[in-house]
A and B are shown apart, each in its own frame.
Chain A
Amino acid sequence: MDILQSWRRVLASDDNRRRYDAYIERWESRIACLLERDLTRATGTPDAALPLSGIPFAVKDNIAVRDFHLTCGSKILQNLVSPYTATAVKRLEAAGARVIGKTNLDEFGMGSSTDNSALQRSNNPWNASAVCGGSSGGSAAVVAAGLVPFALGSDTGGSVRQPASFCGCFGLKPTWGSVSRFGLVAYASSLEVIGVLARDVDTVETVYDLMAGADDLDQSSLARPAAPPAREIRTVGVLRGTAGLAAPIEAACRNTIDALKQSGCEIVELELPMLEYVVPAYYTIATAEASANLARYTGIRYGLRAAVDEGQEQMVAATRNAGFGDEVKLRILLGTYVLRSGFQDQYYVRAQKIRTAIRNAFDAAFQQADVILSPVYPTQAFVRGAGELSPFAQKLADRFTASANLAGIPAFAFPTGVADGLPVGLQFMGPPFAEHRLFDAVRRLPDVAPLMRPDGYDEGWRS
C-alpha cells in the first residue's frame, strides 16, 4: 500500500492539483495518451478511512464513467457523454478513488498499438516513436509514466497485457466473469474483461479485490468461489515450441525460469498443440460477436449522425461508413461473414469447438503445473516505420495472450527488464479464480519494476 499512500494527497489542495496537472501536461505533450482529463471532478477528499481515499486513476475510454465522454477511440462516439458509470468504476469510487481522465485506445479495442484510435496518436513513454501497444495503450502509458498509480483497461485478446509489456508495467486480465462487464463497451463479450494496470503487484491486487465479485447488472458475472485455488506455487509450466520470439523476449524467458528454479519451483515442460488454433478461433468468435455488438451505432439515438436526407437506411449506412475506421469495418465484415446461415458450422461452430478444446487443454495443463509462464508478445514495442509487424502478423502474434481469453482464465503480465531502451515483459496464467496465485508467482521474482522508469518519470512532485 506504500505506493498508493504516496498518492493520497495529490488532489487534496489546489496547490497539489496544480503541480499534478503540470506533471500530466509535461508528459501529455510527449505521449498524448489521455483523451479527456478533468481533475476538478476529483475535489473534496473522501472519507480517509476508505482504502483508496483520494487516489486518482484513469479509465480506458471504452469503460463508462458518468459525465465523462465514452468515445471508444471512434469518430462514431466522439460526442457521446456517458449517462452512467460502469460497476467496476463505481466500486473503486465507493472505495474513495477518483477518475481523473479517460485514456486512448484502438478503436473499440480492435488493435495492438493504439494507432487504430481515430481520435489521436499516442506514444510510448520510453520512446516517443514507439507504439504503446494496445488496445489499452493509453492506460499502460499513463501508468508507466507515473501519471496515475493505476488505470483500468480491458482485455479481449491481450489488450491489457500486451501494452503493459510494451510500456513496462503490470497488467492483470482477470478470470472472465470475475469482474462485472456492466459499463464496458462490448467488442467480444464472451472473451473480454476489465483489467488493471499498475506499477506494482500490491496495487493491482488491491484494485482487483475491490472490483471483483458478482453484479446484478451483469448476469454473466460470477461470485468468487468460497474456496479459490490455493496460492501456493510448486510447479511452473513452460510452453514447448515457442519459436519466433525476439531475442530479448527469449532471454527474459530463460532468466525468469532460472529465477523460479532458484526460488524452489519445479519447471514442467508443457505440450499445448492447441495453441496453433488460438488465433483463427479467437478472430472468428471475436468478430462474430463484434458484428452484433457494434450494430447499435447508427446515429439514431446518440453519437455521430451523417447528414443524409434520403431515408433512415441511407442515413444509417452513411453514419457507419463515416464513423467507423477500416479495422472496425474489416472485423464487422468478417463477423457477418462467419455467421451467415449455412456457413456457421464451417466457421463459428468450429471455432467454438476449438475453444472448448483449448479450455480442456488448459484444464489438463493445470493438473501438472500450478501456473504457466509464457511470453506476452513475440516482440517488444515496435518503433513506427522500423520493423513493424504487418496487420496480419500482429494478429498472429496474439496467440500467447488470446489463449487465456478463449479459456476464460486469469493471466498476469509483469515487467522483466529493459532491453534496447524498451521494456520487456512476460506473463503467468493460472486456473480460473487463481489471480492471487499469479500475484504470488510474480512476488517470487526479483522486483525489477521500481528500477524501470522511462526518462522524465518523477515521483518528487508528489512529496
Chain B
Amino acid sequence: MSAYDVFIGLEIHIHLLCASKQFCGCRAQFGGEPNAHTCPVCLGYPGVLPAANEESMKMAFLVARALECELSKKCFFDRKNYFYPDMTKNYQISQFHDPVGRNGRFDIEVDGAVRTIRIHDVHLEEDAGKMIHQGRCSLLDYNRAGSPLLEIVTEPDLRSAVEAEAFIREFRRLVRHLGVCDGNMEEGSLRCDANVSINHPGAGLGTKTEVKNVNSARFVRKALEFEIRRQARLLDKGERVIQETRLWDADKGATAGMRTKEKAHDYRYFPEPDMPPFVPDEPFLAEVASRMVERPLQRKQRYVATLDIAPDTADFLVEELDAGRLFEALLTGNIAPKTAANWIAGDVQAQLKRADTALQGSHITPERLSGLIAMVEEGRLPRGKAKEVLELVIARDEDPVAIVAEMGWEQVLDDGELDGWVVQVIAANPDVVQKVKGGDGKPLAFLMGQIMKMSKGKADPKRAREKLEQAIAG
C-alpha cells in the first residue's frame, strides 16, 4: 500500500442538557414510555408554532465560544426540507445561512503533541424521532423529536483515524466540562459522522465517503482505519473512490455502502418565517461568558506543567469530572497537589471500584479525604490502613478521624512509649537478637511483629524499626 494523505472532517451532534425541548415545553429526556413526552407542537399538528428555548441558545453560544468561533450577531433559523417519517413536520428547523458560530478552532493532543483543528461552524437544530421496524410494521417514537441538538462541523483537518478519535475524546471532555451534554455516545447523546478522503501526497482532497452509524470514539477510529485501507486499496489498483455514505458494522468491523439508492438531496433551505432572528444582547453574552470554564486540555497542561502531576493522572482528573472537582477542592488546603492527585487517582479509585460505586454519592467529601491524607502525612495513621478507612467511609458515611479513633488505629508518636516496647521485646527475645547481631537480617521482621503486637498496632512501623535497629546495633 502506498502512502497517501488522509483528510478527515467530523460532523458531531450533541444533545443539549436542557430541561425542555427546543420549541415546546415537553421534557427533553432520553428514553421513557414511547411518545410520553410529546404535544401538538413536537408532533407537528396543524397550526402549531415553534417557541424557542433560550437555554439551548445559551448552551449553543457557550460551545461556539469555547471553540473560539466568531459568534453570530443576528442568528437566523432556516427550514431544511426533506420527508422522513421520524420528522414530524417533514422539515427540520436548523441554521444554514447564519449559524451561532463560524470559523472556530479546537486544540487536541495526539501523542503528546498539540494539533489545532479548524471548526467550520456550530449550529442549533432540532432532533427527529425514532423509527423502529418490527416485522412488516414500523413504529414511531417521537419522545426525542424536537430535542435541542447542536451540530459542530470541523474542516477536513484531521490527518489520521487516531487524530479523529483524539478529537472526539477531547471534544467530549469539553462539552462535559461545559455542562451542556453528558457525552454518552452509546445512548446517542453525542453522535459523530465522519467524512474521509485520501489522495496522493500533495494532491489535496480526494473523493470523500461519509461514515455513519458509529457509536463510540474507538469505533470511529476503527471505522476510519478500515475506510482508509479500503480507499487506499482502490487507489493502489488505479480505481476510483465513489462518493457515498457508508455504514459501520461493528460486528463485522467493516463499513458497507448504504444499499438504498443515494438520492441527491435538495434540502431547499429557506428562512424560517415562524421565528424572529435571535439577537444576543449584552446580558445574554455576559451570562454565556460567566458559564465559560477552563478548557480541559488547557487544564491538563496546567496540571502537568505547574502542579507537577503525571500526564496520565492529569488526564484522569480532567476526564472524570467528579474526581477533578474533588481534586480542585483539595487544592485549597495544605496538601501538595501531586499528593492529592495520587490519592484520588490511586486509593480513592481503588476503593470506589471495590465498593462498585461512583465518587458522587460515595460519602467521600473533600473535608474527609483531606483529613485522611493529613493523618497519614503526619504519621498518625499507617499508610496501609488508609484503604480500610476509605472502605469504612464509603460503607458507613462516617468521618475518617472518627473511624480511626473508634478502631484504635491511631499511631503513637510518643517516643517514650515506643522505646519501652523496644526494650521489652529485646529483653524477651535474646536468641533472636543474637541472630540479628550475627548478620542475619530476617528475624528482624519477627521482632517488629512483636512490637506491633505489644502496641496493638499503634506503633509507627517506620519509627519502630529505626529504634529497634538502633537498639540492637547500640
Chain A interface residues toward B at CB < 8 A = 62-64, 70, 72, 77, 80, 82-84, 86, 181-186, 189-190, 216-220, 288-289, 291-292, 295-298, 300-302, 312-313, 316, 336, 339-341, 344, 348
Contacts and interface: CB of A to CB of B under 8 A. Distances in A.
A340 B140 CA distance: 30
Given A84-B40, A183-B47, A296 B89 contact: yes
Given A291-B81, A295-B81, A312-B85, A63 B140 contact: no
A292 B81 contact: yes
A288 B270 contact: yes
A316 B46 contact: no
A223 to B, nearest CB: 13
B273 interface: yes
A70 B43 contact: no
A341 B268 CA distance: 6
B91 interface: yes
A48 to B, nearest CB: 32
Interface of B: 40, 43-52, 79, 81, 83, 85, 88-91, 138, 140, 266-270, 273-276
A296 B85 contact: no
Contact of B270 (A62, A220, A300, A344): A344
A80 B273 contact: no
Contacts of A86: 47
Contacts of B51: 216-219
Contacts of A340: 266, 268
A142 to B, nearest CB: 21
12 contacts: A62-B47, A64-B45, A86-B47, A185-B46, A217-B49, A219-B275, A220-B273, A292-B90, A295-B83, A296-B90, A312-B138, A313-B83
A186 B43 CA distance: 15
Main secondary structure of the interface of B (DSSP, over half): loop
B45 A295 contact: no
B274 A63 contact: no
B91 A84 contact: no
A390 B153 CA distance: 51
Contacts of A302: 45
Given A219-B51, A219-B276, A295-B89, 7 more contacts: A82-B47, A84-B45, A217-B51, A298-B85, A300-B140, A336-B268, A341-B268
Contacts of B274: 181, 186, 189, 218-220
A292 B270 contact: yes
Centre residue among B40, B46, B268 by max chain A CB count within 10 A? B46
Contacts of B43: 301
The 8 closest A-B pairs by CB, nearest first: A295-B90, A190-B273, A339-B268, A189-B273, A185-B46, A185-B47, A296-B44, A64-B47
A288 B79 CA distance: 11
B52 A219 contact: yes
B40 A298 contact: no
Between B40, B89, B268, the greatest number of chain A beta carbons within 10 A of the residue's beta carbon is seen for B268
Nearest to A298: B90
A220 B45 contact: no
- Interface centre among A83, A292, A316, by most chain B C-beta atoms within 10 angstroms, is A292
A83 B89 contact: no
Contacts of A292: 79, 81, 89-91, 268, 270
A275 B266 CA distance: 33
A36 to B, nearest CB: 16
Contacts of A316: 83, 85
A181 B90 contact: no
